[in-house]
Structures are given as structure tokens and as C-alpha cells.
């Protein structure tokens, strides 16, 4: 028997809340940008372009990288929250969902869609001065049509009542970054904002669960612990009266948790068979959660955060589905968990308009006291 002492890997210090905010927004943009390059390609086409392992790195993109509507709408979610928090910090109450609706309407105007005359006008804010956020990057039809009605969708008066596209979940990380509020408030903010464009329960519930994952990570929970917590909160009294947990949401997320601890990562073909392609909300969240769990390092080993980030994003990108949304959500999760330390420097150097993303992150950190 060896007398050598057992060496336990030193635990890295927990990231600051400010680092988690920057990590979340930048990590999501990195995943979105890599995935957007192959969003409408199936796995055969991806392998044909990039080799058997698929798209692994920004260096493989000859034409540079661009982020999509996923990052645009995430940043406009931040801006809506910023306005509500700015009012609150000045001692004036504001309807947070109305602030978010106004922010999304300003985004709508950048996409070549006329904002209805019936909708209220809001003067431009800092975010609106950046041309990069005005490019049309394959925006989701439901987000466009829901906002173009000029009606502020609610749980009781939904727009697009049958839609459960992933346009809700992919923009909802920022709700989990607001400190000092309880889980129920996070869920309500996120699910109410989802109702602005999507009316199906799966769209609202997936958005709320994703925001709760981010919320739990900011509180210091581990990845699997945060996912279990968020899914468990679905039955903790946060749903509206008469609303039940959507069975597809529960089934997909339970499958992601089970498969995420079951050994080697699934092949892309098997991934979509088990969890879906990610075009609808619960599938996008399930694929992203699976990607971060299946590539997580052994807790007993000193795995490097950047290695985990690269592996998870590659897994979330390379499949026959909505690659930018699944990878964006995975990037949000790991950026929150590790903070900025997990983000590859070479990838950040290739990221489009990082100063805009950092600018919004800094504003959110400042207004929340991070």
C-alpha cells in the first residue's frame, strides 16, 4: 500500500457575480455564433464541410462569425430588465413585462417589420445605437408575428397560443442573473415575458425553467444540482391556477438529466432521436442541458473550464437541428457556472461586436450592484 498522500484537486474560487453576468452573455453569444454557421445544415452536411468531428472551432469558419437573433433578443431582454431596474432604483415602480415588451418592439423595428401604430412609442436607448443589432439574422417567425400584432401578450390573453418554438427559452437567461429575488419571482418574470410572443405552456415553462437554472448557478449550485432544482420548481406552486406541468417539458428534461450522466456523449444522430432537434422550446433546453452535463469533467479531476466549454458547445452545435439556439443556451449555462474563465480567448477574438455584449453586461452588473 502506498504511503503517498492523496492529493485532492484545489477548488477554484467561485466567480464573482459580475464575472457570471459577463460569462453568461458572452458564452451564449459564442455558442450562438458557432451554431449559427450551421443552423440549417443537417449532420451529414456539417461533416461534409468540416470533417467527421463536425464544426469544432471558429478557425474553421472562412467567412468569419456572426451571432443571430438569439443574441440580439437576449441583449434586448437585458435592456428591458435594465429599464425596470433603473426605475426601481430611482424609487419609481415599473411594470417589468411592459418594459420588456417595449424593448422587444424596438428590436422588431430593426428587423424590417413595421411596429404597429397601436403600440406605444419609446425613445431609443443605448442598445439601439449599434448597427450590429439591426441586422436580420434568421429571426423566428413567431417572435416577429407575436410582436407585430401590437398586442401585449399575457398568460390570460396569449398571442400565438399554439406556438412553443424555442424563441422564448433562447432569450431568457438574463432573468436568472437578477440577484436578491426568490425563485418564484424569477420564474414569473421569465414565463410572463415568454407570453409576449408565445402562448403554449411548453414555451413559457421551458423559459422559466431555464431562467431558474441560471438563478441556481449564480447562487453557487453545481450543474446537475441546478438542473434538478429548476425542474423541481415546476411543481412548487409557481404555475398559474389551473396550469399543469407540460408533459413534453418534463419528459425531455428528465431524459436530458438521465442521459447526461450515462457515459460517453451520444452520437449526433442518437442525440436528436432521444431529445429532439431543438426547434421547440423544451427540446432546445434539453439538448443544451444534456451537452453541458455529458461533457462535464469528473468531479475528482481538475478539469479545465475552457476544455469543458469547448466540448459542450461542440456537442450542442453538431446535430441536425437548431444548432445556434442549443449552443447559445449551453454557452449561457457554462458562462454563468464558471464565469469568464471558461471562455476561450481565441473564440472571444473571433466574436462579433464583443464591446456591445460587454457593454450590456456591465450595465446589468452596475444596476444590480454586482
Cα–Cα dist 11/23, whole Å: 19
* Buried-state track 25-45, b at ≥16 Cβ within 10 A, e below 16: bbbbbbbbbbbbbbbebbbee
Q: Return the pLDDT at 4.
A: 45
Which of 34-43, 273-282, 297-306 has the weakest average pLDDT? 297-306
155 or 23: whose pLDDT is higher?
23
62 or 30: whose pLDDT is higher?
30
Residue 262: pLDDT band (50, 70, 90) is confident
Q: Return the pLDDT at 93.
A: 87
Q: Is residue 108 over pLDDT 50?
A: yes
Residue 300: pLDDT band (50, 70, 90) is low
Q: Return the pLDDT at 141.
A: 95
Q: Return the pLDDT at 76.
A: 98
Query: Helices 305-317 & 323-338, crossing angle to 10 degrees?
Result: 160
Which of 47-51, 82-86, 224-228, 300-304 has the weakest average pLDDT? 300-304
Q: Return the pLDDT at 358.
A: 98
116 or 54: whose pLDDT is higher?
54
Q: Output the DSSP codes for 25-47.
A: HHHHHHHHHHHHTTTT--HHHHH
Could you tell me if 365 and 18 are in contact, meaning their C-beta atoms sit under 8 angstroms apart? yes
Q: Return the pLDDT at 188.
A: 96
Q: Which CATH architecture has domain 17-55+65-367?
A: Orthogonal Bundle (1.10)
Q: Return the pLDDT at 242.
A: 84
299 backbone φψ class: left, alpha, beta (φ>0; ψ -120 to 50): alpha
Domain ranges of the chain: 17-55+65-367
Residue 1: pLDDT band (50, 70, 90) is very low
Cα–Cα dist 284/263, whole Å: 21
Average pLDDT of span 146-164: 93
Judged by DSSP in three states, 192 sits in: helix
Q: Is residue 267 over pLDDT 90?
A: yes
Alpha helices in the chain (DSSP H): 17-36, 43-50, 69-89, 96-110, 141-148, 183-194, 201-218, 223-233, 247-259, 268-275, 281-294, 305-317, 323-338, 345-350, 354-367
Cα–Cα dist 249/226, whole Å: 16
Amino acid at each position: 500500500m502506498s504511503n503517498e498522500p492523496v492529493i485532492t484537486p484545489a477548488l477554484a474560487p467561485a466567480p464573482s457575480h459580475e464575472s457570471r453576468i459577463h460569462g453568461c452573455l458572452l458564452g451564449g453569444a459564442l455558442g450562438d455564433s458557432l451554431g449559427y454557421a450551421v443552423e440549417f445544415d443537417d449532420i451529414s452536411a456539417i461533416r461534409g464541410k468540416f470533417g467527421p468531428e463536425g464544426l469544432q472551432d471558429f478557425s474553421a469558419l472562412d467567412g468569419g462569425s456572426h451571432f443571430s437573433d438569439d443574441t440580439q433578443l437576449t441583449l434586448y431582454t437585458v435592456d428591458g430588465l435594465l429599464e425596470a431596474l433603473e426605475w426601481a432604483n430611482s424609487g419609481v415602480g415599473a411594470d417589468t413585462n411592459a418594459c420588456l415588451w417595449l424593448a422587444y418592439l424596438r428590436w422588431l423595428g430593426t428587423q424590417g417589420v413595421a411596429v404597429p401604430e397601436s403600440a406605444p412609442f419609446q425613445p431609443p436607448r443605448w442598445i439601439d445605437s449599434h448597427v450590429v443589432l439591426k441586422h436580420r439574422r434568421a429571426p423566428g417567425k413567431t417572435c416577429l408575428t407575436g410582436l407585430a400584432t401590437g398586442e401585449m401578450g399575457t398568460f390570460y390573453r396569449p398571442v400565438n397560443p399554439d406556438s412553443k418554438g424555442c424563441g422564448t427559452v433562447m432569450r431568457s437567461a438574463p432573468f436568472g442573473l437578477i440577484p436578491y429575488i426568490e425563485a418564484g419571482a424569477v420564474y414569473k418574470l421569465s414565463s410572463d415575458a415568454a407570453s409576449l410572443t408565445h402562448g403554449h405552456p411548453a414555451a413559457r415553462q421551458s423559459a422559466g425553467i431555464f431562467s431558474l437554472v441560471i438563478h441556481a448557478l449564480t447562487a453557487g449550485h453545481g450543474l446537475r444540482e441546478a438542473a434538478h432544482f429548476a425542474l423541481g420548481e415546476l411543481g412548487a406552486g409557481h404555475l398559474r391556477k389551473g396550469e399543469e406541468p407540460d408533459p413534453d417539458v418534463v419528459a425531455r428534461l428528465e431524459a436530458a438529466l438521465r442521459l447526461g450522466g450515462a457515459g460517453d456523449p451520444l452520437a449526433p444522430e442518437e442525440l436528436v432521436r432521444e431529445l429532439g432537434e431543438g426547434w421547440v422550446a423544451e427540446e432546445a433546453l434539453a439538448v443544451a442541458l444534456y451537452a453541458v452535463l455529458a461533457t462535464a469533467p469528473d468531479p475528482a479531476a481538475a478539469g479545465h473550464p475552457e476544455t469543458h466549454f469547448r466540448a459542450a458547445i461542440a456537442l450542442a452545435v453538431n446535430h441536425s437541428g437548431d444548432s445556434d439556439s442549443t449552443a447559445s443556451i449551453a454557452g449561457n449555462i457554462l458562462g454563468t457556472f464558471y464565469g469568464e474563465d471558461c471562455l476561450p480567448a481565441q473564440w472571444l477574438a473571433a466574436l462579433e461586436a464583443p464591446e456591445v455584449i460587454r457593454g450590456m453586461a456591465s450595465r446589468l452588473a452596475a444596476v444590480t450592484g454586482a
